[in-house]
Structure 1
């Protein structure tokens, strides 16, 4: 039997239950755990890039894990790193909350929030004035943000709304108790204050989308779709190592980022060392006294991937599916395995290339297909799916799918300029879903640079007498201060990640282009608290010099942190031209909810694409065989 101490393999292999158990035993033996101590975060502590790239199969990797520990009784917390291989605590640092921020909100705090509220005379009086039984109220601890409340500094604070639940199967999101919010000290388990701006009728509409009487009779005109691969799937997976066609990569999973992709290569040529969604923020637009603070960092404040779904064949994934389990740690540090957390399958994607020639009579067509690697996670009212696509022509794409239930409020008779009415008397505040993709690029090697490429109109005149000309403009981004950029769809702006040391057959620097969607970035005022805390979302692109400690664009500890991450890092203004660089790409949607989004929201889509530009000397998909059967 292989022990942890003797285990050989790749440093980025998936986390095992034995490793989670070993970390807990090491922390317990070192005196870090106790009756009131909980895990607020647990994830692999990946080695630095150079160490991973220098790894050989016979090496014994030192497997390390980062565990953030929270003492619920005192509010003290420690950021620890443990080697499960050597069974030692490698480092430990106690957090200073006013400076560092707080650990994320955890399940144990969700469990007691209603008891805390129901022990508050002010909360109970507000419910009584509304004729609402406390036992019918569902509440959640919501991240507090950072505002001009000196008494909250250094304390672990949450804010809580109430939603009325009429019965056990009733979706309480349909019945917000508006005009009422509680500020809660999670350590003292007490209510600091209750803000009650006046009684508002609780919306009576139903949100029970899963009730057959709400759904109505199911359609009978839809015939089954069967996806079959008679000879089996075309990809292989070996402990997170994926091979498909000319693609070669590793997959990983942690509770903060969810699915991660590593060492992505095509035809043995590296493209991206590591890709993930490293942060997201959902800022709300309603400035009401009970709602102005609503800005949720689902990654950094809630570790949203710890709630990832166990995916189901025929429901979440269709076809010849390969599932991968993911192991994380629960609040007590015990291993928790999410079965079928990651879904992998192939999809037909229409025509790859085609031409019917008038001179030669040639008629050739090839089918495109893609490898899909995905996971889905619910967090509160919303559900998010993350789908990475790899295509036969070397394209990489990320698509995020947002669905679930919109966050609700009462909708007043006179209307609300910051909210939509989605059902009678029920409003959904305007908001955004803004994601930050961390793309550690290695386009044909570690030395890369970024060029901003866009279309440039030319005035009619000398050299352009008929006014039809336009050209391509290219600007090299030299330093971190230069490389804070906005999208410009009117100019077809893209960013080319080039390798100045490698040229194609035409003498051009090999490159991959980042194609943004070009949608709105953060709409909150630049002077606002959320603009400081989610500064990453104010730009579409940031480029930084690689630093293994710089992993999350809003900082390591986002909860109750006034602002960290990219703005602080880029003050050094390090060079990024021909260096080992990381791209941070902001993308997302601005949601003005519709009646069609109630009682459950059809999927909304957002994402970005990475496409080869001169990375190959010609079309890399010429060798795709023709489709069998009647096509040829």
Structure 2
């Protein structure tokens, strides 16, 4: 038995889970394991748990029969070594399990043997199928006849000139194959026109071309001679006044649990569970070959399974602590992702500073932050997820998008001379369709306890008048969000809108309720039409904020089985209950992200683009919680006296 109910699954537990399923007769030659996940005990049970208390350690497994397409969901008790529940999944109504790694190779074999697809390639002068790389892309759900209940992917293809060639540079456009992964057949082939296959190589490794290497950079070394300031005990991390638990699962990847801050000798809870619960990449090209391009990287591809093994000096710099991640492979056996999570602390500029002309003092303190991160690769794109904890009680999430943009052939100007409206030309003949990267952060809040409420706070301009004779006044307005149907909100940069999560039952020394404020970036939400399939399936992307009453079963904003889900089990359906939010156990779902009109500078590999949000204490502390940060010890720091300013 592990030490805590929220401890991450181990390789031994994953192997035991498979053994229990095997002994129960639930595994055959065609059985695959798209999902193997820890069943986290209910929040109220975890909060009341004390060291030494017993609990039932359970694993939920989704099983797929590759021969029949049947899907079942099984819960195994590792405590009692037995199956405790089993149900069949209605894939038409609920959706399919995520796409598995082996299915990427399967689609190439299917298409290479399909006469219609080979003929389409031959029409483009491509007669060597083994040089054609096929991308197995999630099919979505568009109500197309004959697709109900099938396990489908839609396949676009790229030419690879040699084994080291960047395949994304050579899109074979105008043709898409719809493939059934169970029957292993092409159910429809759309051939919408011939486009030249871009021939220019787009290698980005220095050893792949004749680009000169810069010789101007001098080494940057980051050292901590006395070691890092954090301690790690199992999954528990302590750093400065912070304490939290590390988690990891196949769908969300890195999760943080029970985040708290020590204040006057008491560990004060702030967030019970924090994760990126979903992310979707909707594309904006309505052509017959691409109208369906929308990818849910968590629910359809599994962020955790796609995690990179990080390397010191490349992905992480400094005094690093790594956490390995244990996941199940497609056969249900344990697989270890080495160095899946990177943790380190780093300097973050000035924390606070003041030079006082009256008392002659000059004080500066350095900010530093703890960084907990992981990186994933999903097809062409790579994403980094960076959680930052700061000395002053601030929490930040930064998501970094990089990798290679998904390329198409660029059709050139329209007949009237106007530019193609759905994509950028980023290299000669190479297009990159416009798209968005939209993330959903699930923040299970616990600001000084579970009885929380949310106020929407706006800056308000005050008209000139008797109370504002010189017109200089402005104020703020706080509006309590009392019911779930009121909790679907939009950011407003003009009003400087923030959302304050407060605890009405806890007061600071001014008598104000303690709180934390969510500061959104306020970038565009989903740009697709409200009537579109993606707007139904990714309803969470239509608002910057959703507030729901806590429910242990409501973990993913687009539902548990997102792949080919019609959009009937997401967050927009939950709020129909219109539960009370005032002084309750609350979850915030924050949508944020990037709208990407690709540039030539994004080719052949995209420099990192960033998006995220900040949680800042607002009245949570009675004063600046970083007053006890010591002055810098560096020999290079010499405070100036006021008369030197």
Q: Same fold (TM over 0.5)?
A: yes
For 1:557, the equivalent position in structure 2 comes to 561
> What is the deviation of 1:207?
2.0
1:473 and 1:242 map into 2 onto residues whose CA distance is 38
For 1:293, the equivalent position in structure 2 comes to 292
Question: Is 1:259 paired with 2:250?
Answer: no
CA-atom RMSD, angstroms? 0.9
Deviates more, 1:112-121 or 1:478-487: 112-121
For 2:363, the equivalent position in structure 1 comes to 364
Report 1:166-205 matches (<5 A). Answer: 166-205=161-200
In the TM superposition, structure 1's runs of 4+ consecutive aligned residues that sit over 3 Å from their partners are none
Tell me if structure 1 keeps the 8 A contact 2:449–2:503: yes
1:289 and 1:247 map into 2 onto residues whose CA distance is 52
1:539 and 1:561 map into 2 onto residues whose CA distance is 20
For 2:601, the equivalent position in structure 1 comes to 596
Question: Is 1:530 paired with 2:534?
Answer: yes
1:372 and 1:352 map into 2 onto residues whose CA distance is 16
Tell me if structure 2 keeps the 8 A contact 1:14–1:239: no
**Unaligned ranges ≥5, structure 1:** 1-6
Tell me if structure 2 keeps the 8 A contact 1:8–1:61: no
Choose from 578, 582, 591 the match for 2:583.
578
Tell me if structure 1 keeps the 8 A contact 2:248–2:325: yes
Q: Once the two structures are superposed, what CA deviation does each residue of 1:465-491 show, in whole Å capped at 9, x if it has no partner? A: 111111001000000001100000110
Tell me if structure 1 keeps the 8 A contact 2:557–2:570: yes
1:44 and 1:273 map into 2 onto residues whose CA distance is 17
Q: Once the two structures are superposed, what CA deviation does each residue of 1:426-478 show, in whole Å capped at 9, x if it has no partner? A: 00000000000000000000000000001011111121111111100100000
Tell me if structure 2 keeps the 8 A contact 1:8–1:60: no
Tell me if structure 1 keeps the 8 A contact 2:491–2:544: yes
Tell me if structure 2 keeps the 8 A contact 1:281–1:295: yes
Choose from 609, 615, 618 the match for 1:613.
618
Deviates more, 1:102-111 or 1:252-261: 102-111
1:286 and 1:330 map into 2 onto residues whose CA distance is 34
Report 1:473-512 matches (<5 A). Answer: 473-512=477-516
For 2:113, the equivalent position in structure 1 comes to 119
Q: Once the two structures are superposed, what CA deviation does each residue of 1:232-261 show, in whole Å capped at 9, x if it has no partner? A: 000011111000010000010011100000
> What is the deviation of 1:97?
1.1
> What is the deviation of 1:513?
0.2
Q: How many residues align?
A: 626
> What is the deviation of 1:8?
4.9
Tell me if structure 1 keeps the 8 A contact 2:260–2:270: yes
1:211 and 1:191 map into 2 onto residues whose CA distance is 39
2:227 and 2:2 map into 1 onto residues whose CA distance is 30
Report the secondary structure of 1:117's partner residue: helix
> What is the deviation of 1:213?
4.8
Q: Once the two structures are superposed, what CA deviation does each residue of 1:289-337 show, in whole Å capped at 9, x if it has no partner? A: 0000000000000113202111111100000000110000000010000
1:518 and 1:174 map into 2 onto residues whose CA distance is 33
**Unaligned ranges ≥5, structure 2:** 414-418, 639-645
> What is the deviation of 1:84?
1.5
2:83 and 2:599 map into 1 onto residues whose CA distance is 51
2:181 and 2:136 map into 1 onto residues whose CA distance is 9
Tell me if structure 1 keeps the 8 A contact 2:535–2:542: yes
Q: Once the two structures are superposed, what CA deviation does each residue of 1:537-595 show, in whole Å capped at 9, x if it has no partner? A: 00000000000000000000001111021011100000111000100000000000000
Choose from 88, 93, 98 the match for 2:92.
98
Report the secondary structure of 1:140's partner residue: strand
For 2:427, the equivalent position in structure 1 comes to 423
Question: Is 1:459 paired with 2:458?
Answer: no
1:258 and 1:201 map into 2 onto residues whose CA distance is 39
> What is the deviation of 1:117?
0.8
Question: Is 1:27 paired with 2:14?
Answer: no
> What is the deviation of 1:61?
3.2
1:578 and 1:347 map into 2 onto residues whose CA distance is 37
1:256 and 1:105 map into 2 onto residues whose CA distance is 12
